[in-house]
Amino acid sequence: MKSALFILPFALVPFFANDFWLVQIFGRALILGVIALSLTFLAAYLGVVSFAQATMAGVSGYTVAYFGPNSVDVGRELPFYVVLPLAIIMATLSGVIIGLIARRSQGIYAIMITLAVGVAFFYFTRQNYTYFNGWTGFSGIRAPEIAGTNLRDPLPFYLLIISVAMLCLMLVNGFIKSPLGLTIQAVRDAPKRVLAIGIPTTPVIVSAYAIAGFIAGSGGILNVWYQERISSFSVGLGPIVDILVIAVIGGLKHPIGAFIGALAFVLLDTFAVDFIDRERFNTLIGLVLLAIIMGAPDGLHGLAKSWLARFKKRVAENQV
Amino acid sequence: MPISHDHKTANALEIQGVGRRFGGFWAVKDVSLSVRPGERRAVLGPNGAGKTTLFNVLTGDLVASAGTIRMDGADVTQTPMHKRIKGGLRRTYQHAHLFDGLTIRETLFLAVSGVAGGWQRFLPLKPNDDAIGKAENLAGMAGLSSDLDREVANLSHGQRRQLEIGMALAETPKMLLLDEPAAGLSPSERPRLAELLLSLPKDITIVLIEHDMDIALRTSDSVSVLHNGRLLAEGSPENIMSNEAVHNVYMGGAHGH
Ligand SMILES: Nc1ncnc2c1ncn2[C@@H]1O[C@H](COP(=O)(O)OP(=O)(O)OP(=O)(O)O)[C@@H](O)[C@H]1O
Ligand SMILES: [Mg+2]
């Protein structure tokens, strides 16, 4: 539970930040953080690096687009209180399907197989016009108005984002201490041994992916409201890699790494263009990634943790 | 599971012509043996004799390349491991592989709820959960009560072995396969292990692989000797100790004891 407190400082942002910082920087960082949390969750507790987060987020995003207000003439509108649970269920189901496909794969094979699923989904959305409107996708997607509060307004939207981020972190922190959460970690540590205590591993792995789908799906709804559009490019290689980069920069060992990485990524993504041109951004991100992998394999979270430990040690020494 | 046989007459373990091949090499070949309910059987044999491989086939860690395995009269040759475990079989591993990221309490909790059910729950545990109480009892039996919240990665070699045994005792097994439980234990820890084995309920069938002759013979009422994957001799501890073929195998230098 303690680490959910990490999100609290984000709650202070509305007191001093303008709408740009509120939504484009901190809001966007928290949204990407939720989607990356899905990856970090699988990496930290199931021990599998998955490339399908943008896909699962896309499934809920497309559900919201298809069944919600949009400016292309595809889909049919349902009330938001039907659409939102439906979007989450679809994303969770996509997690189940990906889990069933990837359940026997680990390491590089899990990466390849989830990447293959992601790329297949990307091509499918490009070619299917009935449900995905091809490569143009959907635009004019609007967040609903609930009880007189318009979720398109910066402050309510930001408060929603921060609540979702907080809830997802608390979900992960609570879940990993539940029997199923412990079993998932047991599968990470010694899958054969899990069988030897009477537990079949497939349902364990699939449920981990289902939770990853649930989390990514929550982020996917926020993301489609933030972007106000979704198309095959939203589930293409670019976003797939972005999520991975965020998770790795932040650190794969701990859930809050996802949010640290997302904030770093959004700051770079937003302000690096002031120093270098757009095309060079990928080079910059690549260099940052390289520096992290070589200098701090546990990401910024790991780095901060070891600095803190060193600092505490020094304070303790000075007191003696 | 409806099983159409008479429990009273069925052997706890009955294997026939069991073999396991790695490529062209038979690590276990044509082994047949039967173990009565409640029997304590030691399996001896030099390094590489095929003892661990035989266990792996009995539990389902590996599939048998030949032969049939019956437990309590039911054919389990094709049964997945986790189902055999649910049916009352437990084992320990020669080289402990454990859940390094969990604590002792969490590990034993999973061992209990793996068999008794309940591992599927996804709400945080209450400290008064039934299975946690059982896990703490197991820790007591295995001599780990003082380290319940220790992370498994930080345990000593001896503690890891003890945890292996604690896990295997979850929910009172019908049959226990112990693969060199004394290996790596200090001389002072060994008698405790023997005591623990002797103190287990008499209706638990135990098959024990053990290089420590003292423990093996003290805790067993019958012995099977494996050599080059085949069953070399079988009998009471006294018979085996005076068996010439067994002596030749052990004196042949394949084994140091
Ligand atoms: N997975 C495997 N692949 C190939 N060969 C194997 C495998 N497992 C065991 N073997 C071989 O099978 C033979 C029997 O090995 P096993 O581990 O069953 O012997 P053991 O009697 O348990 O020996 P020890 O006393 O050293 O534990 C050995 O020659 C071993 O190299
Ligand atoms: Mg062995």
Residue-wise pLDDT tens digits, B113-172: 999 999 999 988 888 889 999 999 999 999 899 999 999 999 998 899 999 999 999 999
**Which range of residues forms the domain containing residue A61?**
2-319
Q: Residue B190 phi/psi, 5° resolution?
A: -65, -50
User: Looking at the complex, does the CB of residue B86 fall below 8 Å from at least one CB of chain A?
Assistant: yes
Could you give the percent of chain B with pLDDT greater than 70? 94
Query: Which of chain A's residues have a Cβ under 8 Å away from the Cβ of B97?
Result: 190, 192-193
Could you tell me if residue B222 is inside a domain? Answer: yes
What is the interface pTM, i.e. ipTM, of the complex?
0.90
Which ranges constitute the DSSP H helices of chain B?
A: 51-59, 81-86, 104-116, 130-141, 157-168, 189-199, 213-219, 237-241, 244-249
CA-CA distance, B82 to B127, in Å (whole number)?
27
Q: Residue A80 phi/psi, 5° resolution?
A: -60, -30
Domain count along chain A: 1
CA-CA distance, B96 to A182, in Å (whole number)?
19
Q: What is the mean pLDDT of residues A300-305?
A: 89
> Cβ B114–A194 below 8 Å, yes or no?
yes
- The CATH number for B128's domain is 3.40.50.300
Domain count along chain B: 2
CA-CA distance, A8 to A2, in Å (whole number)?
11
Q: What is the mean pLDDT of residues A26-46?
A: 97
Could you tell me if residue B180 is inside a domain? Answer: no
Residue of A nearest to B100 (CA): A189
Q: Is the pLDDT of residue B7 over 80?
A: no
Q: Is the pLDDT of residue B253 over 70?
A: no
Q: pLDDT-based confidence at B8, cuts 50/70/90?
A: low
Min Cα separation B218/chain A (Å): 27
Q: What is the mean pLDDT of residues A59-87?
A: 92
Q: Is the pLDDT of residue A218 over 50?
A: yes
Which ligand 1 atom sits nearest the alpha carbon of residue B56?
A: 18
Query: Which of chain A's residues have a Cβ under 8 Å away from the Cβ of B81?
Result: 195-196
Could you tell me if residue B190 is inside a domain? Answer: no
Could you tell me if residue B59 is inside a domain? Answer: yes
Q: What is the mean pLDDT of residues B234-241?
A: 87
Min Cα separation A189/chain B (Å): 5
B11 and B41: one domain?
yes
B81 and B134: one domain?
no
pLDDT by residue (tens digit) across A44-68?
Answer: 999 999 999 999 999 999 999 999 8
Buried b / exposed e along B104-114 (16+ C-beta atoms within 10 A): bbbbbbbbbbb
Taking a C-beta distance cutoff of 8 angstroms, is the pair A42, A110 a contact? no
Q: pLDDT-based confidence at A92, cuts 50/70/90?
A: very high
Q: pLDDT-based confidence at A146, cuts 50/70/90?
A: confident
pLDDT by residue (tens digit) across A230-278?
Answer: 999 999 999 999 999 999 999 999 999 999 999 999 999 888 877 777 7
Apex CA A167: angle with CA A161 and CA A173, to 5°?
Answer: 140
Pocket of ligand 1 (CB under 6 A): B 22, 27, 45, 47-53, 94
**Which range of residues forms the domain containing residue B149?**
89-172
pLDDT by residue (tens digit) across B163-201?
Answer: 999 999 999 999 999 999 988 888 888 888 888 888 899
Show contacts of A14-23: CB within 8 Å, 24+ apart: A14/A155, A14/A158, A14/A159, A19/A154, A22/A154, A22/A155, A22/A158, A23/A154, A23/A157, A23/A158, A23/A226
